[in-house]
């Protein structure tokens, strides 16, 4: 299953629209916070979309939790914005949290900086900010029962 991961859209719905249009074949979409109004708009525009989201530090009206675990193909996918585990200071708290919930994949945002790391059998993916100037940043996860592949991607916003 192809999963598209985005974060930190901050009201720039055109970014999420463009990413969705380029990857409408995905089976699942995940928004990692700081864009609750964008999530609502996506659900309204695309009523059949399978979209999960978590609350970010600027999502004051969001009813979502700050983190959640998705179970896909037997994998535990921890989704969190990241501010409550201080990801801007490093990944140590996040790694401890991931181990405590038996995560196989960890998706986080908040820093606006895309990164991927594989550490002690756990995949860590931050898609960056979907709202960065010049590029719409996002992540792609291809997951099966046998494997996980994570890719960072971006679309030129001027196209």
pLDDT tens sequence across 113-157? 999 999 999 999 999 999 887 899 999 999 998 999 999 999 998
Residue 133: its pLDDT value, please?
77
Q: Which CATH number is 111's domain given?
A: 3.60.21.10
Domain limits at 12? 2-156
pLDDT tens for 76-95 read 999 999 999 999 999 999 99
Element (H, E) at 42: helix 36-45
**Total number of domains constituting the chain:** 1
Residue position matching structure tokens 């996002």: 138
Interatomic CA distance for residues 44 and 41, integer angstroms:
5
């Amino acid at each position: 299953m192809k999963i598209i991961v985005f974060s930190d859209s901050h009201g720039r719905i055109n970014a999420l629209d463009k990413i969705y249009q380029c990857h409408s074949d995905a089976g699942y979409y995940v928004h990692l916070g700081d864009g609750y109004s964008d999530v609502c708009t996506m659900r309204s525009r695309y009523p059949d979309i399978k979209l999960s989201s978590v609350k970010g530090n600027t999502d004051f009206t969001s009813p979502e939790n700050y983190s959640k675990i998705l179970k896909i193909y037997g994998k535990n996918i921890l989704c969190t914005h990241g501010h409550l585990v201080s990801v801007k200071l490093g990944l140590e708290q996040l790694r401890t949290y991931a181990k405590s919930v038996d995560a196989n994949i960890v998706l986080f945002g908040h820093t606006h900086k895309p990164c991927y790391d594989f550490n002690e059998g756990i995949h860590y993916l931050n898609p960056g900010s979907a709202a960065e100037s010049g590029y719409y940043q996002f992540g792609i996860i291809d997951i099966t029962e046998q494997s996980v592949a994570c890719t960072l991607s971006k679309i030129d916003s001027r196209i």
